[in-house]
Amino acid sequence: MKKSILVLLAGTSLLAGCNLAPKYERPAGAVPVALPEGGVYPAAPTDAVDVSRIGWRDFFLDDRLRQVIETGLANNRDLRIAAGNVQQARAQYRVQRADRLPTVNAGGTATYTNNLASMGGGSTSTDIEIYQATVGLSAFELDLFGRVRNLSRAAQEQYFASEEAQRTARISLIAEIASAWLTMASDSEQLRLSRETAKAFEQTLDLTRAQFRIGTGSELEVRQAETSYQSAVNDIAALETSVARDQNALNLLAGTTVPAEQLPTGLGDAPLTRDALPGGISSDVLLRRPDVLQAEHQLIAENANIGAARAAFFPTISLTGTLGTLSTALGGLFKDGSYTYTGSPSASLPLFDFGRRKGNLDYAKASRDVAVATYEKAIQTAFREVSDALAQRGRIGDQIRAQSTRAEAAGVAAKLSDARFRSGVDSFLVTLDAQRTAYGAQQALVTTRLTQASNLVELYRSLGGGLEETTQVGTN
């Protein structure tokens, strides 16, 4: 008996390295080898700082914004959910990994029985006591074909995928907080502009009313001036609502009420983020993005599931064994001659399962194909997001310069037109048109400046920035 068990264990050791999972190879060729360059795309210097390696504390330059981001990372509920998902996946991996090792149980029994024995025509009652202590394992599967090992690998990769999902959530949260903060800054600046314009329009309205009363102006001019004034008043009401909603969105992302001193009052003139661009880098940088890594871990998990499904076509061999001691007296449990052992290996192979194992294998292969497509789609999505951000970045500087010049020219034209109207040189219609043009140009400039700031945030996010706390590479 001992010899048979030893032979079985020796054979198990020889087959332990058998793995029926297909060899994993990372899919390639889903996107071009290099990010787009030329045309609308910026020509950044090759020594530019890698945006993805800059810590978020160093990328965002406004202390108020940094404080809000820090609050969000500590309190945001979506981030807490992602962290909980990691803990769940880690626990599931531990449970699955435990199946690769035998579960050892210890037990003890005491049996008391009464037996009638015939002695010389009579009968006597004899009490019998039996004590037993055992240590052993029950139905431990000998993983000859890698079924349990591949299931453990799949659980491990799902755990890794959940970690990458948490990192993705962290990057997205940082970008969302920054975008919401910048949007509130833009709306606050638009609100300030509308209030200033409303005051100017109100002065013009008062002037036209006075001229109408003394007969030097017309009711048409009064109505036109009132139209412009009421339009600005409407803008104020709408923007006040937008600012309130922006604050509500920021509070939700931060997971708490953001203090008033951390809220923006406008975009201002100081830079809010680092103006760093990658230069001449390969599209392989996208492989570092957490969402791409998450998809790859899920692909590896599905690859391991194929190995587990293939192993189901081979016999399942398990072993039950105990080592113990047996005695009729409690004090004799551990004396010489009281030790016992049992060994019970077993094997099973379903002969007819009506296609169940074949169906499970086909499902595993199909799931692997889905995971390949998902991984390639993740890379393509990342490539598109970075390309879009670079395309906008390439021309946003030209837009800012054009809008700044336009706003300045329109402002000067409005002042000149107003002076000419007051001196009686130009008609009121010319002045009104100049005021509206100046107002629209200033609004467009604020919007373009928001686009510029948001573009840098998007470029930072799409390149996988936001994981580091501090800068890991040299800065310009």
Average pLDDT along the chain:
84
Name 324's Cβ contacts closer than 8 Å, sequence gap at least 6.
132, 133, 134, 135, 136, 339, 340, 341
Confidence of residue 103 (pLDDT cuts 50, 70, 90): confident
Position with higher pLDDT, 370 vs 329: 370
- Alpha-carbon gap, residue 214 to 221, rounded angstroms: 14
Residue 304 in any domain: the answer is yes
Residue 215 included in any domain = yes
Per-residue pLDDT at 47: 60
Residue with tokens 């010319």: 430
Cβ 264 vs Cβ 185: under 8 Å:
yes
End-to-end C-alpha distance for the chain, whole angstroms: 75
Name the amino acid, one letter, at 270: A
Task: Please check the confidence at residue 42 and state whether its pLDDT lies above 80.
Answer: no
Q: At what angle do helices 147-214 and 219-254 cross, to 10 degrees?
A: 160
Both tokens assigned to 173: 């949260």
Q: Taking residues 83-107, what's their average pLDDT?
A: 84
- In Å, what is the CA distance from 464 to each residue of 38, 173, 428? 23, 12, 55
Query: Is 337 inside any structural domain?
Result: no
- In a domain? residue 14: no
| DSSP per-residue codes, 105-117 | EEEEEEEEEEEEE
- Please state the domain count of the chain: 1
Q: Coil, strand or helix: which one is 122?
A: strand
* Residue 349 banded pLDDT, cuts 50, 70, 90: confident
Is residue 162 domain-resident?
yes
* CA–CA separation, 221 and 230 (whole Å): 14
- Most confident among 42-56, 327-341, 426-440 (mean pLDDT): 426-440
Give 445-463 pLDDT, tens digit per residue. 999 999 999 999 998 898 8
Q: Give the rounded percent of residues in the chain with a pLDDT score beyond 90.
A: 39
Which residue, chain included where needed, has tokens 């219609």? 429
Q: How many CB atoms lie within 10 A of CB 182?
A: 25
Is a pLDDT exceeding 80 seen at residue 381? yes
Q: Work out the angle between the directed axes of helices 290-311 and 356-422 (0-180°, nearest 10).
A: 170
Tens of pLDDT, residues 194-245: 999 999 899 888 988 988 888 878 888 889 889 999 999 999 999 999 999 9
CA dist 413 and 140 (Å) reads 88
Classify 327 in phi/psi space as left (phi over 0), alpha (psi -120 to 50) or beta: beta
| Closest to 412 (Cα-Cα) out of 431, 393, 442, 438 | 438
Kindly report the pTM of this predicted structure: 0.84
User: Residue 317: which residues within 8 A CB-CB, separation 6 or more?
Assistant: 8, 12, 141, 142, 144, 345, 346, 347
pLDDT at 335: 73
What's the order of all strands across the beta sheet hosting 104-119?
104-119, 122-142, 316-327, 339-348
Nearest in space to 147 (alpha carbons), one of 312, 328, 282, 387:
312
Provide the pLDDT for residue 124.
65
The phi and psi torsions of 324 (rounded to 5 degrees) equal: -155, -170
321 assigned to some structural domain? no
Residue with tokens 């700082």: 49
* CA pair distance 130, 357, nearest whole angstrom: 47
| Unique residue bearing structure tokens 């509070």 | 251
CA distance 362 to 183: 50
- By C-alpha distance, which of 172, 135, 53 is closest to 342? 135
Q: From 29, 3, 51, select the one nearest 343 (Cα to Cα).
A: 3
Joined tokens for residue 329: 């007296």
The residue type at 128: I
CA dist list (Å): 338 to 1, 3, 129, 331: 19, 21, 14, 11
Inter-CA distances, 398 with 40, 189, 245, 437, Å: 11, 22, 31, 20
Q: Which structural domain range is residue 431 located in? A: 21-102+145-314+355-462
pLDDT at 332: 66
**Contact at 8 Å (CB) between 387 and 462?**
no
Is the model's pLDDT at 322 over the cut of 70? Answer: yes
- Which residue in 42, 2, 308 sits closest to 155, CA to CA? 308
Element (H, E) at 474: none
Is there a domain that residue 371 lies in? yes
What is the per-residue pLDDT for 116? Answer: 59
The model's pLDDT over 291-300, given as tens digits with 9 standing for 90+, comes to 999 999 999 9
User: Is the pLDDT assigned to residue 8 strictly greater than 60?
Assistant: no
Among candidate residues 112, 106, 102, the one with its CA nearest the CA of residue 133: 106
Question: Which range scores top for mean pLDDT: 134-148, 290-304, 305-319?
Answer: 290-304
Please say if the pLDDT value at position 475 is more than 70.
no
Tokens of 442: 């200033």
- Is pLDDT of 11 > 70? no
Averaged over 302-306, what is the pLDDT?
Answer: 92
- Region of poorest pLDDT, from 66-80, 107-121, 383-397: 107-121
Q: Which of 170-174, 238-242, 269-273, 359-363 has the lowest mean pLDDT?
A: 269-273
Is the residue at 52 inside a domain? yes
116 vs 125: CA distance, rounded Å: 5
DSSP code of 24? P
pLDDT in tens, 159-204: 999 999 999 999 999 999 999 999 999 999 999 999 999 998 998 8
Q: What is the CATH number of the domain that holds 90?
A: 1.20.1600.10
